[in-house]
Amino acid sequence: MPGLFITGTDTGVGKTYVTCYLAEKLRREGIDVGVMKPISTGPAAEDDALYLKKKLKLNDPLELINPVHLKHPLAPYPAAKLERKKLDLKKILKTYKELEKRHDTVLVEGIGGVAVPITKDYFVIDLIKAMKLPVIIVARAGLGTINHTMLTLGALIDQHINIAGIIMNGFTGKDKAEKTNAEVIEKLSGVPILEKLKWSA
């Protein structure tokens, strides 16, 4: 398995937590795992890439883990406009190839959902296609997730992107919506729910 792209149905659904969870799980199976956060935005102290590096004790330099960082906590397109920066998409793909050489597999954590704009005419879903990676979708467990998850699935299916499965984050087992959402999504989409994790963003 060359790698996986971890995307979300929205921002704040727990992609970073799930990326750490998957990396640790693969390591326990004896797999050398690299991790990448192609684009991060917001204050450096709250940076997901920095958190991933520290939490997973990654040996790769931060510039490989996170080749593009923008200081404003926005989608990449408006954040880059505010900084008057042009995002180097070739640099992102070249960095991924370097990590791919260094490790058995690479987990790539996206930013926001699949329709988040990286540039005016290039979106997260375009980056997924360029990397040619199967996708794991991180979705909330509770009410509203059917709509968000089905829209995300539809966008990926329309682009003929391989979907490895869905991880429900924030599962408590107490809410009625939580108890039915996974089964409904699986039946409607045919995409498996891989795991239900307790909430952590």
pLDDT in tens, 35-79: 999 999 999 878 899 999 999 999 999 999 999 999 999 999 999
* pLDDT the model gives residue 182: 94
Q: Which residues are designated catalytic? A: 37
pLDDT at position 99 over 70: yes
- In the chain, what are the domains? 3-197 (3.40.50.300)
Alpha carbons 50 and 134: distance in angstroms, whole number: 24
pLDDT in tens, 130-167: 999 999 999 999 999 999 999 999 999 999 999 999 99
pLDDT at position 187 over 80: yes
pLDDT at position 201 over 60: no
pLDDT at position 121 over 70: yes
* pLDDT the model gives residue 200: 59
Alpha carbons 52 and 16: distance in angstroms, whole number: 7
Alpha carbons 57 and 61: distance in angstroms, whole number: 11
Instruction: Read off the pLDDT band of 92 (50, 70, 90).
Output: very high
Alpha carbons 82 and 24: distance in angstroms, whole number: 36
Alpha carbons 96 and 156: distance in angstroms, whole number: 21
Any residues with CB less than 8 A from the CB of 30 and at least 6 apart, and which?
none
